[in-house]
């Protein structure tokens, strides 16, 4: 079995493609046998999001869906909380502040248990917005300055469920291409993956598929001929590749190769 990750760009609950994306998560978790845990550590209103997602997952066919409250590191190191994860076939992280997820869970017993369950294929892991950002090793935590520069992005360590990438969310809607270009220039060994709202990637092993109504933008600095990152001012990034991948497209992470779904055009 390989790790299966459903990484959502945000705003899927009330958008056209969101139902299909969340139904896909339930199917991956076992359909009518699915036992889904919702973790809203990132949110300032965890009870509201736990209840909302649990209701959606149950409506979409899961046998059971429930919130698991983890607000402190002591809770994340509680063996009773770890035990509550054991029967889960799917774990879903809500949006909010991604730094709360890493600050509360990073290095704890819950983190270790999730890593084992996900990498062993026993659990499908889903996350939206902040719950998506935390899945990469290098995590984008903020940045709104204009241009491609050090000041345009802030980063920190993620939980690294999907190594080798840096993920940005709400991508097209919030105009975050400059931020992702800045991140990839700073970390050229990472693939930049910008996911639009109401859009997701389904990662399985070393490849992913695009789902939803938007697109996924991949920035690859591997072939760049020049990268110059001054302490201040614009970054120079020459020869990098950018791929824009709509639903149905696939991408090989190891080979860094896209495969675009060809759609018929109207006559």
Q: Please list the active-site residues.
A: 129, 170, 197
Q: Are 211 and 24 in contact (CB under 8 A)?
A: yes
Residue 19: Cβ-neighbour burial (10 angstroms; 0-12, 13-18, 19+): middle
Q: Kindly report the backbone phi and psi dihedral angles of residue 138, in degrees, each rounded to the nearest multiple of 5, phi listed first.
A: -95, 120
* Torsions phi, psi for 54 (to 5 deg): -60, -40
Strands 226-228 and 236-238, how do they pair? Answer: antiparallel
List of residues 6+ apart from 112 with CB closer than 8 A: none
Task: Reduce the DSSP state of residue 99 to 3 states and report it.
Answer: helix
Question: Is 47 exposed, middle or buried (CB count within 10 Å of its CB: 0-12, 13-18, 19+)?
Answer: exposed
Distance from C-alpha of 252 to C-alpha of 258, rounded to nearest angstrom? 6
Kindly calculate the radius of gyration of the chain based on its CA atoms and give it in whole angstroms. 18
How many whole angstroms separate alpha carbon 76 and alpha carbon 221?
A: 36
Q: In angstroms, rounded to a whole number, what is the distance separating the alpha carbons of residues 128 and 259?
A: 24
């Amino acid at each position: 079995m390989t790790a299966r990750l459903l990484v959502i760009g945000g705003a899927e609950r009330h958008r056209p493609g969101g139902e299909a994306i969340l139904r896909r998560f339930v199917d991956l978790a076992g359909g009518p046998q699915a036992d889904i845990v919702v973790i809203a550590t990132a949110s300032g209103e965890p009870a509201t999001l736990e209840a909302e997602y649990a209701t959606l997952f149950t409506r979409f066919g899961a046998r059971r869906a429930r919130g698991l409250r983890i607000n402190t590191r002591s809770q994340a190191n509680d063996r009773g909380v770890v035990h509550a994860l054991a029967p889960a076939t799917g774990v879903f992280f809500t949006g909010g502040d991604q730094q709360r997820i890493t600050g509360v869970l990073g290095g704890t017993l819950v983190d270790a248990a999730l890593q084992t369950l996900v990498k062993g294929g026993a659990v499908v892991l889903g996350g939206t917005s902040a719950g998506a950002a935390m899945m990469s090793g290098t995590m984008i935590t903020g940045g709104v300055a204009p241009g491609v520069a050090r000041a345009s992005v802030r980063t920190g360590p993620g939980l690294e469920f999907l190594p080798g990438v840096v993920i940005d969310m709400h991508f097209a809607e919030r105009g975050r291409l400059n931020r992702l270009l800045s991140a990839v220039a700073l970390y050229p060994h990472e693939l930049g993956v910008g996911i639009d709202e109401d859009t997701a990637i389904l990662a399985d092993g070393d490849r992913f598929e695009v789902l939803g109504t938007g697109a996924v933008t991949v920035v690859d600095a591997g072939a760049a001929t020049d990268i110059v990152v001054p302490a201040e001012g614009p970054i120079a990034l020459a020869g990098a590749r950018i791929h824009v991948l709509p639903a149905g497209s696939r991408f090989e992470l190891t080979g860094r190769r896209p495969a675009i779904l060809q759609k018929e055009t109207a006559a």
